[in-house]
């Protein structure tokens, strides 16, 4: 037994399940097992060449020192231009906060807003880290769940009835992880009506999958539509998914100046600043040639079409159509029952040991009985994984 007494704070959270499963898959591969990892949401593409070149040039030019805690002026300008170009949103550099990934920006936002006991509404199925970020910041996650029958989308009535006097935040993510589901304009407008009337609530829109979207209608972010509450919307994005830059760790938000100032204070006392080299690379990604966005989106869409059909054809699995991101989220309740297993965690463990395919159980996303397939891997791995699963489940 360890003699170290750990804080109540750290004991209240669990490790990220997506990271845990992908680490396990990596370790099994290193140990010689032929594991196919459909676990992490990480594009298999290389970071574009001109972005890597910008990083090398920044290093050579001596951009190797501390920067402003929440991002260089050059990167903040590039982010303002991006918001204007892609989303029609006008921000000043003073309204931009840069962090080591969208994950840190989401954490800083929550840390700057939540007091002990404050509630944050999270729409399930949700990205694994939202509830634990809220808990780390002393808040209470309030989960609003939607199943496959409602297309995994929360209704305005559900959101309305989850709101209490303690509600301070709502996390929104479209296209969403783990479902890939995207809210339509009328759905967004209806949600906006409920939230606009609630002046204490800050909406965090996590737009990280903005560019991995193939829905018919133009993609929209809440700040474009919910203009009456613009000052209470934190629009979060990053370069990880769109530009295949997960390891560079750059995410950002456009938000109210007071909130941004508070987040800078947190950066200054924690990370100081995200890597100066990564910031130069992110600025190059946002300002340079954008044609690779469509090329990567098309590749993901092609994989989606294959994966959606293949997963739906697996015995006991059923998934709803997705309009973006790089996941298929399957309702696996029948498969769990047919195989005599207890739950989705047991299903994922069984699939990993018998078929050597790494998937993330739905419970991690607040949706027990489900399982997540990431198709951010290459097409060959994807086809082979489906062959193995078909054999195992049939």
> Interface residues with ligand PMP (CB under 6 A)?
41, 101-103, 127, 173, 177, 206, 208, 238, 240, 246, 251
- Closest approach, Cβ 372 to ligand GLU, in A, equals 8
Residue ranges in contact with ligand GLU by CB under 6 A: 16, 18-19, 40-42, 128-129, 177
Nearer to ligand GLU, 16 or 256 (CB): 16
- Closest approach, Cβ 325 to ligand PMP, in A, equals 7
Rounded Cα–Cα distance for residues 17 and 105 (Å): 20
Residue position matching structure tokens 């969208």 = 102
Task: Give me the half-sphere count of Cα atoms (radius 13 Å) on the Cβ side of residue 186.
Answer: 0
Nearer to ligand GLU, 128 or 285 (CB): 128
356: left (phi over 0), alpha (psi -120 to 50) or beta: left
Nearer to ligand GLU, 141 or 192 (CB): 141
Cα–Cα distances (Å) from 214 to 123, 171, 259, 298, 388, in that order, read 22, 22, 33, 8, 28
- Closest approach, Cβ 16 to ligand GLU, in A, equals 5
Which residue has the CB atom at the shortest distance from ligand GLU? 41
User: Are 279 and 67 contacting, i.e. CB atoms less than 8 angstroms apart?
Assistant: yes
**How far is it between the farthest Cα atoms of the chain?**
61
81 binds, among ligand PMP, ligand GLU, none (CB under 5 to 8 A by kind): none
173 binds, among ligand PMP, ligand GLU, none (CB under 5 to 8 A by kind): ligand PMP
Would you give the distance in Å from CA 107 to the centre of its chain?
13
206 binds, among ligand GLU, ligand PMP, none (CB under 5 to 8 A by kind): ligand PMP
The token pair that represents 372 in the structure block: 């997540």
* Helix 344-355 / helix 379-393 crossing angle, nearest 10 deg: 110
Q: What's the length of the chain? A: 394
Nearer to ligand PMP, 122 or 336 (CB): 122
Residue position matching structure tokens 């489900």 = 370
User: Is residue 162 classed as helix, strand or coil in its secondary structure?
Assistant: helix
- For residue 331, give the H/E element and its range: strand 327-331
- Closest approach, Cβ 231 to ligand PMP, in A, equals 23
Which residue has the CB atom at the shortest distance from ligand PMP? 101
102 binds, among ligand PMP, ligand GLU, none (CB under 5 to 8 A by kind): ligand PMP
25 binds, among ligand GLU, ligand PMP, none (CB under 5 to 8 A by kind): none
- Closest approach, Cβ 105 to ligand PMP, in A, equals 8
40 binds, among ligand GLU, ligand PMP, none (CB under 5 to 8 A by kind): ligand GLU
Nearer to ligand GLU, 159 or 359 (CB): 359
User: Is residue 197 classed as helix, strand or coil in its secondary structure?
Assistant: coil
């Amino acid at each position: 037994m360890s003699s170290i007494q750990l804080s109540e704070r750290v004991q209240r959270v669990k490790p990220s399940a997506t990271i845990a499963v992908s680490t396990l898959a990596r370790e099994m591969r290193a140990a010689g097992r032929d594991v196919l990892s459909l676990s992490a949401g990480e594009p298999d593409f290389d970071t574009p060449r001109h972005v890597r070149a910008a990083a090398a040039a920044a290093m050579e030019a001596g951009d190797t020192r501390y920067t402003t805690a929440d991002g260089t002026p050059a990167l903040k300008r590039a982010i303002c231009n991006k918001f204007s170009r892609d989303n029609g949103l006008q921000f000043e550099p003073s309204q931009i906060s840069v962090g080591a990934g969208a994950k840190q920006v989401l954490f800083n936002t929550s840390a700057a807003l939540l007091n002990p006991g404050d509630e944050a509404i999270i729409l399930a199925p949700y990205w694994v880290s939202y509830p634990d970020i809220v808990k780390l910041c002393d808040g209470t996650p309030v989960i609003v769940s939607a199943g496959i029958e409602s297309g995994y989308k929360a209704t305005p009535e559900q959101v309305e009835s989850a709101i209490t006097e303690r509600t301070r935040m709502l996390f929104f993510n479209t296209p969403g992880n783990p479902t890939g589901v995207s809210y339509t304009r009328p759905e967004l407008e209806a949600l906006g009506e409920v939230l606009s009337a609630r002046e204490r609530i800050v909406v965090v829109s996590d737009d990280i999958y903005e560019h991995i979207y193939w829905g018919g209608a133009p993609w929209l972010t809440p700040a474009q539509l919910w203009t009456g509450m613009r000052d209470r919307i934190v629009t979060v994005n990053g370069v990880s998914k769109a530009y295949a830059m997960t390891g560079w760790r750059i995410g950002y938000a456009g938000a109210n100046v007071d909130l941004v100032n508070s987040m800078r204070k947190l950066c200054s006392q924690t990370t100081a600043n995200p890597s100066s080299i990564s910031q130069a690379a992110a600025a190059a990604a946002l300002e340079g040639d954008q044609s690779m966005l469509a090329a990567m989106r098309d590749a993901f869409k092609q994989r989606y079409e294959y994966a959606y059909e293949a997963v739906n054809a697996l015995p006991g699995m059923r998934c709803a159509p997705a309009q973006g991101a790089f996941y298929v989220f399957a309702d696996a309740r029948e498969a769990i029952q047919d195989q005599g297993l207890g739950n989705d965690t047991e299903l994922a463990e069984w699939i990993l040991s018998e078929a050597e395919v790494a998937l993330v159980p739905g419970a991690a996303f607040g949706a027990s009985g489900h399982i997540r397939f990431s198709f951010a891997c290459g097409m060959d791995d994807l086809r082979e994984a489906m062959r193995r699963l078909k054999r195992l489940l049939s």
